[in-house]
Structure 1
């Protein structure tokens, strides 16, 4: 237990732990009804990142949680299996950073099935649709 607490609160995993705590507070505010889960949807378009179709808060939460689990798991594995030396210390610092791209790919896979749970926002009308709508009104 002491090793887990050391890993979770140690550098650089503490950055992901802090982000996870902030997200937990956000979701508590959502559960209490003070904030909407789609509060950040106007701020970012996640389609280019492969996570479109769900609220930004959901995508960021999944990404952060996956990165945190990969980082903590990898550093715990290093702490248990590798002898303490300079190389292990360097790997301990690099592992959370290396976990981010892997977490992004996994988060894209995890978010993809959630598209069905969130209705798509209507996009701007196509050129032909706008003309048809005007022709029908006349």
Structure 2
């Protein structure tokens, strides 16, 4: 347990641990009803990142959880298997950063099947059409 806490709170993994704690607080607010899971959808378009089709909060939560898991898991694996040396220390610092692109790709694969669960958000109402359907007196 001490090794897990050490891996989760060591730099640079502490950044992902902090993001994970913030996400847990956000989802607690969603459960309590103070906010909604789709509250950030108007603020960000994740199509360029390949993780669109689900609410932004779901995509970023998945990305953060996968990155944190890979980061902590890799550091724990290094602690268990690699002898303590300067190269291992350097690898412990580089591993969490290298885990981010892997986490992004895994998140793309994870989010793809979830598209069916989240219907597309309706676009803005077309106000021009609404005016055309108004009956004008002749």
Both proteins in one fold, TM over 0.5: yes
Comparing 23-32 and 40-49, the one that deviates more: 40-49
SS, match of residue 39 in structure 1: coil
- 2:56 matched to 1:50? no
Give TM-score, length-normalised by structure 1. Answer: 0.89
Q: What is the distance in 2 between the residues matched to 1:7 and 1:101?
A: 20
Query: Gapped runs of 5+ residues in structure 1?
Result: none
- 2:127 matched to 1:115? no
Aligned to 2:12: 12
Q: What is the distance in 2 between the residues matched to 1:77 and 1:83?
A: 11
After superposing on structure 2, the runs of 4+ consecutive aligned residues of structure 1 that deviate more than 2 Å are: 122-125
CA displacement 1:88-116 (0-9 Å, x = unmatched): 00000000000000000000111111111
How many residue pairs match? The answer is 133
Aligned to 2:78: 78
Q: How big is the alpha-carbon RMSD for the aligned residues of Structure 1 and Structure 2?
A: 2.0
CA displacement 1:25-49 (0-9 Å, x = unmatched): 0000000000011111011001111
**Alignment of structure 1 residues 1-138 onto 2, 5 Å:** 1-123=1-123, 137=133
